[in-house]
Amino acid sequence: MYKFHELILGGVRSGKSLLAEQRAEATGLDLLYLATATAGDAEMSERIRHHQARRQEKWALLEEPTELAKALSQYARVDRCILVDCLTLWLSNCLHENCWELQSDALLTGLPNLQGQIIFVSNETGMGVVPMGELSRQFVDKSGFFHQQLASLCDQVTLTVAGLPLSLKTPTQEE
């Protein structure tokens, strides 16, 4: 059973999504873009359009704002690479729907059993000051703890800064 899971972290506009797309395309596998964003305003709609314009027709698209584990279990297979973009928006959606604990547990529990290649993209939000507001602190804390748990399950973890990838975790020779 072939499986390879990767987490690509970075700040806003750091180049993490482009890197993820390039790595996915280099696999030669069937490509599925699993989008978690919802277009709540004109600026977010433009961000989504920008990502869509960069991808070619070889990408299939699935939009799932909250039930990520369910979607992955349904679509993951050995001959497919799924790019999940982005976990930060997924976390926001789940917090808004009051389903974060359930959805994050389902993903972390199910991920080790998923076949194929899955590349997760997420914003690294904890490199600045501690936010003043309680909701902002809750978001940063949940994001940081989740990234730690997900990184422990992934074969490869990369931090992207200014378009440059920095390997934080690479597969071992036995894998």
Query: Which tens digits make up the pLDDT trace of 28-70?
Result: 999 999 999 776 667 766 766 766 777 778 899 999 999 999 9
Q: Residue 12 — pLDDT band, cuts 50, 70, 90?
A: confident
- Dig out the tokens for 3 from the structure: 């499986």
Q: What is the pLDDT of residue 175?
A: 45
**CATH fourth-level superfamily of 3-169:** P-loop containing nucleotide triphosphate hydrolases (3.40.50.300)
Dihedral (CA of 3, 26, 149, 114) sign: negative
pLDDT of 150 > 80? The answer is yes
The pLDDT score that the predictor gives to residue 58 is 87
Place of tokens 């280099």: 26
Burial track 69-86 (b if 16+ CB lie within 10 A, e otherwise): bebbeebbeeebbbbbbb
pLDDT given for residue 44 in this prediction? 63
Name the residues annotated as catalytic: 51
Cα 122 to the chain's mean position, in Å?
5
Q: Return the SS3 of 46.
A: helix
State the DSSP H helix or E strand holding residue 167, giving kind and residue range, or none if neither: strand 164-169
pTM of the model: 0.91
Q: Give the number of other CB atoms < 10 A from CB of residue 19.
A: 19
pLDDT band at 174 (very low <50, low <70, confident <90, very high): very low
Residue 39: what pLDDT?
Answer: 61
pLDDT confidence of residue 126: 79
CA angle 166, 167, 168 (to 5 degrees): 110
pLDDT band at 172 (very low <50, low <70, confident <90, very high): confident
Q: Contact 33/59 with Cβ under 8 angstroms?
A: yes
